Amino acid sequence: MDNSEFVARALRDYLRPLVGEAEVTHIDSDINAGEPDAGIFTGISIAQHFGIALPPIFREKIVELGKLPLNWDVMLLEDFDALPAFWQQAS
């Protein structure tokens, strides 16, 4: 499993309880088609659609992926930055 697939699967697992199985099947489809970068893009689009804040670790891992085809790295970070701010809950 490469880093893109790892991030896509982690994003899918994070979103599943928040949006339901029907939504995350789109990420699964991208992963199963061998396009984990598209899965990350889909996951961030789902988060945007539902107004879900994502933990900063996702942004860090996207940056670590480096240059992606079709300037997707730039688009992903712009879309990520447009998400609501993530606030850590106190335990």
Residue-wise pLDDT for 3-50, tens only, equals 899 999 999 999 999 999 999 999 999 999 999 989 998 999 999 999
What pLDDT band is residue 75 in, cutting at 50, 70 and 90?
Answer: confident
| 16/90 Cα distance (integer angstroms) | 22
- Tell me what pLDDT residue 25 has: 96
What is the torsional sign of CA 11, 12, 17, 19? positive
| pLDDT exceeds cutoff 70 at 60 | yes
Q: What is the pTM of this model?
A: 0.84
| 64/38 Cα distance (integer angstroms) | 16
> What is 10-76 written as a DSSP string?
HHHHHHHHHH-HHHHHHHHHHHHTT-HHHHHHHHHHHHHHHT----HHHHHHHHHH---GGGHHHHH
What pLDDT band is residue 89 in, cutting at 50, 70 and 90?
Answer: low
CB 5 within 8 A of CB 36: yes
